[in-house]
Structure 1
Amino acid sequence: MRLFDTHSHLNDEAFSGDLAEIVERAEQAGVEAVVVPGYDLPSSERALELAHRFDILYAAVGIHPHDASSADEAAMEKLRLLAKEDRVVAIGEIGLDYHYDHSPRDVQREVFERHIALARELNLPVIVHDREAHADTLEILKQAGASEVGGVMHCFSGSLDMAQECLHLGFYLSFGGPVTFKNARRPKEVAAQVPEDRLLIETDAPYLTPEPYRGKRNEPAYVALVAETLAKIRETEPEQLALATRENARRLFRVQG
Structure 2
Amino acid sequence: MFVDSHCHLDRLELDKLGLSLPQVLEAAKQRQIEHLLCVSVSLTEFPAMLELVKPYPEVSISCGEHPLHQSDSVDAELLAKQAAIAEVVAVGETGLDYFYNPETKLSQQDGFVKHISVARTLAKPLIIHTRDARADTIALMKSHNAEQAGGVLHCFTENYEMAKAALDLGFYISISGIMTFRNATELRDVVRKLPLDRLLIETDAPYLAPVPHRGKTNQPAYVTDVAAAMAEVKGVAIAELARQTTANFYQLFKLAAAKRIAA
Sort the TM-score into its range (normalised by shorter chain): over 0.9
**Aligned positions of 1:5-20 closer than 5 A:** 5-12=4-11, 14-15=13-14, 18-20=20-22
Find the aligned partners of 1:45 and 1:243 in 2 and give their Cα distance. Answer: 33
Once the two structures are overlaid, the 10-residue window that deviates more, 241-250 or 154-163, is 154-163
AA paired with 2:234? R
Cα distance between partner residues in 2 of 1:145 and 1:46: 31
Structure 1 residue aligned with 2:62? 60
> Cα deviations across residues 9-59 of structure 1 (Å, max 9, x unaligned)?
101152477211111111111111111111111332233223421111100
Q: Secondary structure at the match of 1:128?
A: strand
Once residues 110 and 136 of structure 1 are traced to their aligned partners in structure 2, the CA distance between those partners, rounded to angstroms, is 12
| Aligned pairs for 1:9-158 within 5 A | 9-12=8-11, 14-15=13-14, 18-72=20-74, 75-101=75-101, 104-158=104-158
Change (3 A) 1:91 1:103: farther
Paired residues of 2:12 and 2:206 also in contact (CA < 8 A): no
For residues 133-212 of structure 1, what are the structure 2 equivalents within 5 Å? 133-212=133-212
1:70: Cα distance to partner? 5.0
Partner amino acid for 1:125? Answer: P
CA contact (8 A) 1:7 1:203 kept: yes
Q: Is the CA contact (8 Å cut-off) linking 1:138 and 1:166 kept in structure 2?
A: yes
* Deviation at residue 183 of structure 1 after TM alignment: 1.4
Deviation at 1:162, TM superposition (A): 1.0
- Are 1:230 and 2:230 an aligned pair? yes
In structure 1, what is the equivalent of residue 2 of structure 2? 3
Q: Deviations over 1:160-217 (max 9, x none)?
A: 1111101000000000101111210111011111111101000000000000110000
Flag the 1:48–1:70 CA change in 2: closer, same or farther, 3 A: farther
SS of residue paired to 1:90:
strand
- What is the alpha-carbon distance in structure 1 between the residues aligned to residue 105 and residue 174 of structure 2? 24
In 1, Cα distance between equivalents of 2:252 and 2:30: 24
1:45 alignment partner, SS class: helix
Matches of 1:51 and 1:168, distance apart in 2: 34
Provide the identity percentage. Answer: 39
Q: How many residues align?
A: 254
Moved more, 118-127 or 84-93: 84-93
How far the C-alpha of 1:87 sits from its partner, in A, is 2.2
Q: What SS does the aligned partner of 1:69 have?
A: coil
1:151: Cα distance to partner?
A: 0.4
Any runs of at least 4 consecutive aligned residues in structure 1 with deviations exceeding 3 A, and if so which?
A: none
Gaps of 5+ in 2: none
Q: Structure 1 residues 162 and 227, CA, compared in 2 at 3 Å: closer, same or farther?
A: same
Letter in structure 2 aligned against 1:228: A
Q: What's the offset of the Cα at 1:103?
A: 6.4
Q: Is the 8 Å Cα contact of residues 72 and 107 (structure 2) preserved in structure 1?
A: no
How far apart are the structure 2 equivalents of 1:230 and 1:150?
23
- The answer on whether the counterparts of 1:65 and 1:103 sit within 8 Å (CA) in structure 2 is no
State TM-score, norm by structure 1: 0.94
The RMSD of aligned alpha carbons is 1.5
Letter in 2 for 1:130: T
| Matched residue SS, 1:156 | coil
Alignment gaps of 5+ in structure 1: none
Answer yes or no: is the 8 Å Cα contact 2:12–2:205 preserved in 1.
Answer: no
